[in-house]
């Protein structure tokens, strides 16, 4: 049974039906209250009613904080997800109730981030986080009536494939510049990135306990290996050049191989490239350089994937950019 009563200057609609929890909501007009009550009663009659109370009294900010505590905290590497959550918490949309958020709100956010010059992949990941939040709220947090507004908007396609490698003469310019910089292991980090294909994050986490120079391998513990397509191999084979680079460092029985941080390397890298006038070269491009060199040495795709850690040959292809000259030599 539905009742509508006036409370001050507002109208309160209430629906009581056997087998359902009492439902109530406040409106500005009597007509709005009656319309809402009719919809609720109709859904109860058809057996499709799902309570909207939780979604109507939970803000996006509250849901984000819960998502951060329950979902992000369980991920192997939650740092980036936590940063995205914190980014959303600073948005005006965070103060809105989940039930009131529309696809148009997130489309406007998408366009605003584009106008600010953010990369398409960055925007895509930000929207994907909130979309997953809505799905978790609907499936696990008792908000079955909640619709996912992110399903109604066009998503950014993602980042463009890069094909940047070291160009002729760039290694000869960059290597001595890094060796002469304030960071004592920047040159070795540069060479190891090219020889091992390791990302900057895991490169600075390497420890001497993992290194076996006699066998020419590095055994990386499971806790430091990423899940998904872009993984890290459990055992990384080392080239002769990589062994030479490691031996040029103060070899120890334990401790970090490269006593530096990823941020310190980024700062040195940017400064050196700026001084040399080299544009459009990122540290991550060294991973592309490494994968391409492995193929140019004649390694099989599965052999390369066992070094780079790629689970998908499609993704490995994106990291491989063979020099035409090397192909000409093979063609004869």
For 170-331, which CATH superfamily applies?
Answer: Intergrase catalytic core (1.10.443.10)
Residue 199: which residues within 8 A CB-CB, separation 6 or more? 232, 284, 287
Claim: this prediction has a pTM higher than 0.75? no
User: In angstroms, rounded to a whole number, what is the distance separating the alpha carbons of residues 262 and 274?
Assistant: 18
pLDDT in tens, 230-278: 578 889 999 999 999 999 998 888 999 999 999 999 999 999 999 999 9
For position 192, what pLDDT does the model report? 96
For position 227, what pLDDT does the model report? 55
**Dihedral, CA atoms, 128, 131, 133, 137, nearest 10 degrees?**
-160
Contact 187, 172 (CB under 8 A): no
Which residue bears the tokens 């080299």?
Answer: 278
For position 309, what pLDDT does the model report? 84
For position 145, what pLDDT does the model report? 77
For position 158, what pLDDT does the model report? 62
Q: Does domain 57-152 have CATH number 1.10.150.130?
A: yes
pLDDT in tens, 187-238: 999 999 999 999 998 999 999 999 999 999 999 998 887 655 457 888 999 9
Residue 304: which residues within 8 A CB-CB, separation 6 or more? 291, 294, 295, 316, 320
Answer left, alpha or beta for residue 142, where phi above 0 means left and psi between -120 and 50 means alpha: left
User: In angstroms, rounded to a whole number, what is the distance separating the alpha carbons of residues 125 and 138?
Assistant: 20
Which residue bears the tokens 């990941």?
Answer: 125
Determine which of 47-51, 91-95, 141-145, 163-167 has the lowest per-residue pLDDT on average.
47-51
For position 230, what pLDDT does the model report? 58
What percent of the chain lies above the pLDDT cut of 70? 90
User: In angstroms, rounded to a whole number, what is the distance separating the alpha carbons of residues 26 and 4?
Assistant: 9
Contact 36, 13 (CB under 8 A): yes
């Amino acid at each position: 049974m539905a009742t509508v009563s006036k409370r001050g200057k507002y109208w309160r609609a209430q629906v009581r039906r056997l087998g359902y929890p009492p439902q109530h909501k406040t409106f500005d007009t009597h007509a709005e209250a009656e319309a809402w009550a009719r919809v609720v009663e109709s859904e109860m009659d058809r057996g499709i009613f799902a309570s909207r109370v939780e979604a109507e009294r939970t803000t996006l900010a509250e849901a984000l904080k819960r998502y951060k505590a329950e979902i992000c905290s369980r991920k192997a590497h939650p740092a980036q997800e936590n940063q995205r959550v914190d980014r959303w918490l600073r948005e005006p949309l965070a103060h809105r109730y989940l039930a009131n958020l529309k696809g148009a709100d997130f489309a406007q956010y998408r366009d605003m981030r584009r106008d600010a010059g953010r990369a398409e992949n960055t925007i895509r990941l930000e929207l994907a986080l909130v979309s997953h939040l809505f799905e978790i709220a609907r499936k696990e947090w008792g908000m079955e009536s909640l619709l996912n507004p992110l399903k109604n908007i066009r998503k950014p396609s993602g980042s463009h494939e890069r094909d940047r490698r070291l160009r002729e003469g760039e290694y000869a310019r960059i290597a001595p510049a890094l060796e002469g910089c304030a960071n004592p292991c920047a040159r070795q980090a540069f060479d190891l990135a090219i020889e091992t294909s390791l990302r900057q994050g895991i490169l600075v986490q390497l420890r001497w306990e993992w290194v076996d120079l006699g066998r020419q391998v590095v055994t990386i513990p499971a806790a430091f290996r990423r899940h998904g397509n872009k993984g890290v191999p459990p055992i990384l084979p080392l080239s002769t050049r990589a062994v030479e680079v490691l031996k040029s460092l103060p070899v120890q029985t334990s401790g970090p191989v490269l006593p530096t941080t990823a941020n310190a390397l980024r700062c040195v890298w940017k400064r050196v490239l700026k001084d040399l006038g080299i544009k459009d070269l990122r540290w991550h491009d060294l991973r592309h350089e490494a994968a391409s060199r492995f193929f140019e040495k004649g390694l099989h795709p599965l052999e390369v994937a066992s070094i780079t850690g790629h689970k998908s040959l499609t993704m490995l292809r994106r990291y491989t950019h063979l020099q035409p000259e090397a192909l000409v030599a093979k063609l004869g």
